Amino acid sequence: MLDKSEKIKNYSIAIACIVVCIFFVSYIFYLNKKIEVQSKLNKDIIVLNKDIIVKVDQLYEDYKLAVKIQSDAQLALYERSESVAKFINEISLIVSTRFLESEELLRHAEADMIVIDSIRNLQEINPRITNIINILNKKFINSR
């Protein structure tokens, strides 16, 4: 009987060892699968991060381009408004000079020199309109 109980005990231990081995093998397969899934997720995250970095770089470059375009547009607007202000100033000077001449506060020669100087300044800003103003000025001088 002792021999039988010893055999049963050994069989029980052997079955327990087999069950434990099966459990460990199953657990190893489970962990291996989990590691593979985690590895795949990590690779996907790395790819997404690279895509995000590329898109952020593109966005930054687009932003820099937009800022440069806006800056250039502001500079062009400033230069145009500056030239318009200078043009209006010179036209005002011509009209004022001719008015002062008509009120006999300026001599004809002085007024003509001021107007011709203003016309030269206007030539840099808008040559076509300056040609018209120059023709009107010559007609005004000849009509005196």
- Which amino acid does the sequence have at 120? R
Helices (H), the chain: 2-102, 108-125, 127-142
Distance CA 141, CA 136 (A): 9
Asked if 93 and 114 count as a contact pair (C-beta separation under 8 A), the reply is yes
Q: What is the pTM of this model?
A: 0.55
Per-position pLDDT tens, the chain of length 144: 667 788 888 888 989 999 999 999 999 999 999 999 999 999 999 999 999 999 999 999 999 999 999 999 999 999 989 989 999 999 999 999 999 998 989 899 999 999 999 999 999 888 999 999 999 999 988 887
Q: C-alpha dihedral over 41, 45, 48, 53, to 10 degrees?
A: -170
